[in-house]
Amino acid sequence: MTDASAPPRAQLFRYAGLEVEGARLVGRYELDGRSFREVVTFDGVDELDEAARAAARLWYLVAGLSYYKVGAARVVDLADTPVGPGARALLDAALRDGLAEFAFRNDLDLDDVEVTGGSPTPQPDARLDPGRVLTAFGGGIDSIVTLERLSPFVDQSLFVVSPAAGRFDALEATAAVTGRDVVRATRELDPGLVDAGGFAGHVPVTAMVTLLAATAAVARGDGGVVMSNEYSASAANLIAHGREVNHQWSKSWEAELALGAALDEAIGSGLAVASFLRDRSELWVAREFAELTAYHGVFRSCNRAFAQEPASRATTWCLKCDKCLFVALVLAPFVARATLATMLGGEPLADVRRETQLRTLVGLGERHKPFECVGDPDESAVALARVCELAEWRDVAHLHEISRSAPARAAFDDLLTPLGPTRVPAHWLR
């Protein structure tokens, strides 16, 4: 049933043009006549050539969803934006699947959206070095493991996205430990977005980051963009009205395929865009991270450190959110309890106030898997079962009670082996 208090849907969302000025992008959009503008400025990139501009047009398409969502318009007009079949397929997937959580939370049906317009797209010649890559870096265990495990095989620079309001201290501190050069994109969202009213909700941010990284990589002549999205990112949170709702859609295998096809269409097949962790579990990542002690005192995966406004950012792990609890859960089998407490600044696993959240993580809760970047319930149940086997966690009664109610549905060692398909090119693994 539609909420009578919900705002009315808009009629028309229009792509009003992408401007490129040196190493700066200006994307313009209109929603029922109201104008929005997003600006991205690259550091570490001299100029965006024709091939880089072709990649940037894909970013422009997906980035528009940040403004589209305000009105959830029934018609999307691409105007004269160059788009091929791959770009249209990417936009359609991002609109319907990338906004599936947004639609679910706002009780919207986006299957009625009509996409019109668009013009033919040329394919420029991109000359790229396959031995050089940009590795998207967020300061958490995933991108740290990717960076370190890939280091022997290719020449990596970090790719970081920062808000115009100021860089994320937690991310910058972790990046400094790597000793790598940083290529940066600074995003300036339209200031009117906060006060626009209308609908609100999650958008496929990782897809936007991937396409900005691709734009920078092509401009620099780098032959690859490395992401850090695990196997479980493809698992849906729930199914609503026959459609999978996945908070992590833009980290999923489906999204990776759509992004790769659109980029191949736009610039040719010379740019490898793949997740290094695609066929790996969160437990495998945690095991690898446990060995990377140089990062143990600085990394941060708690999303409260990454609020857009600096005044709202947490300076420590909050120890209350689902992400903090999940990170503690997957690290606990590989890191001594006292060491883990020091790393996180506390023990969310031992906190009985987190019991309901933990039950949800392992699939026992009354609600679906959290709308967070956490592993699937089976993986969480396996991790919890292993934790309960460790003597140092014997005194935490609620862990054992929950584990008995949610027995492991897979073998621990099986989750430390490759799972499913991957698009990682052979030269990243030699």
Please provide the average confidence, as pLDDT, over all residues in the chain: 94
* Distance, CA of 359 to CA of 403 (rounded, Å): 9
pLDDT at 110: 96
The string of DSSP codes covering 349-405 is GG-GGGHHHHHHHTT-SSSPSPSSS---HHHHHHHHHHHHTSGGGTT-HHHHHHHHH
* Residues 198-234: tens digit of each pLDDT: 999 999 999 999 999 999 999 999 999 999 999 999 9
CB 118 within 8 A of CB 213: no
Phi, psi of 191 (to 5 degrees): -60, -20
Q: Which of 275, 308, 332 is the last residue of a domain?
A: 275
User: Regarding predicted confidence, which is higher, 312 or 268?
Assistant: 268
Q: Is residue 299 part of a domain?
A: no
Mean predicted confidence (pLDDT) in 271-299: 97
Instruction: Say if residue 254 is in the same domain as residue 339.
Output: no
Q: Which of 106, 27, 35, 31 is nearest to 74 (CA)?
A: 31
Mean predicted confidence (pLDDT) in 264-286: 97
pLDDT at 6: 78
Q: Is residue 309 part of a domain?
A: no
State which residues form the domain around 244.
12-126+182-275
Question: Residue 100 above 80 pLDDT?
Answer: yes
Total Cβ atoms within 10 A of residue 332: 23
Question: Residue 1 above 50 pLDDT?
Answer: no
CB 185 within 8 A of CB 162: yes
Instruction: Say if residue 266 is in the same domain as residue 323.
Output: no
Q: Which of 247, 275, 303 is the last residue of a domain?
A: 275
Instruction: Say if residue 221 is in the same domain as residue 120.
Output: yes
Instruction: Say if residue 106 is in the same domain as residue 221.
Output: yes
Instruction: Say if residue 43 is in the same domain as residue 117.
Output: yes
* Distance, CA of 170 to CA of 309 (rounded, Å): 14
Q: Interior CA angle at 157 toward 206 and 18, to 5°?
A: 50
Instruction: Say if residue 82 is in the same domain as residue 189.
Output: yes
* Distance, CA of 16 to CA of 35 (rounded, Å): 9
Q: Which of 271, 366, 365, 379 is nearest to 327 (CA)?
A: 379
Q: Give bridge partners of residue 31 from the DSSP assignment.
A: 13, 34
Mean predicted confidence (pLDDT) in 16-44: 97
Q: Interior CA angle at 389 toward 388 and 392, to 5°?
A: 75
Question: Residue 52 above 90 pLDDT?
Answer: yes
Q: What is the DSSP letter of 45?
A: -
Question: Residue 121 above 90 pLDDT?
Answer: no
Tell the residue number behind the tokens 């018609």, with chain if given. Answer: 75
Instruction: Say if residue 261 is in the same domain as residue 322.
Output: no
Instruction: Say if residue 351 is in the same domain as residue 403.
Output: yes
* Distance, CA of 288 to CA of 392 (rounded, Å): 21
Q: Is residue 424 part of a domain?
A: no
Q: Interior CA angle at 424 toward 262 and 330, to 5°?
A: 110
Q: Is residue 282 part of a domain?
A: no
Q: pTM of the full predicted structure?
A: 0.95
CB 189 within 8 A of CB 201: no
Instruction: Say if residue 270 is in the same domain as residue 378.
Output: no
Into how many domains does the chain fold? 2
Q: Which amino acid is at 125?
A: D
Mean predicted confidence (pLDDT) in 92-115: 97
Mean predicted confidence (pLDDT) in 120-147: 94
Q: Is 337 helix (H, G, I), strand (E, B) or coil?
A: helix
* Distance, CA of 262 to CA of 85 (rounded, Å): 8
Q: Is 162 helix (H, G, I), strand (E, B) or coil?
A: strand
* Distance, CA of 54 to CA of 377 (rounded, Å): 39
* Residues 325-339: tens digit of each pLDDT: 999 999 999 999 999
Instruction: Say if residue 243 is in the same domain as residue 363.
Output: no
Total Cβ atoms within 10 A of residue 424: 18
Q: Is residue 269 part of a domain?
A: yes
Instruction: Say if residue 83 is in the same domain as residue 194.
Output: yes
CB 419 within 8 A of CB 231: yes
Q: What percent of the chain has pLDDT over 70?
A: 99
* Distance, CA of 329 to CA of 384 (rounded, Å): 7
pLDDT at 3: 56
Instruction: Say if residue 264 is in the same domain as residue 386.
Output: no
Beta strands 129-136 and 155-163 are parallel
Q: Is residue 203 part of a domain?
A: yes
Q: Which amino acid is at 91?
A: L
Q: Is 348 helix (H, G, I), strand (E, B) or coil?
A: helix
Lowest mean pLDDT among 104-113, 134-143, 262-271, 363-372: 363-372
Q: Is residue 301 part of a domain?
A: no
Q: Is residue 174 part of a domain?
A: no
Q: In this structure, what token pair is assigned to residue 324?
A: 């903090």
pLDDT at 4: 56
* Residues 149-182: tens digit of each pLDDT: 999 999 999 999 999 988 989 899 999 999 999 9
Q: Which of 275, 306, 329 is the last residue of a domain?
A: 275
pLDDT band for position 63 (cuts 50, 70, 90): very high
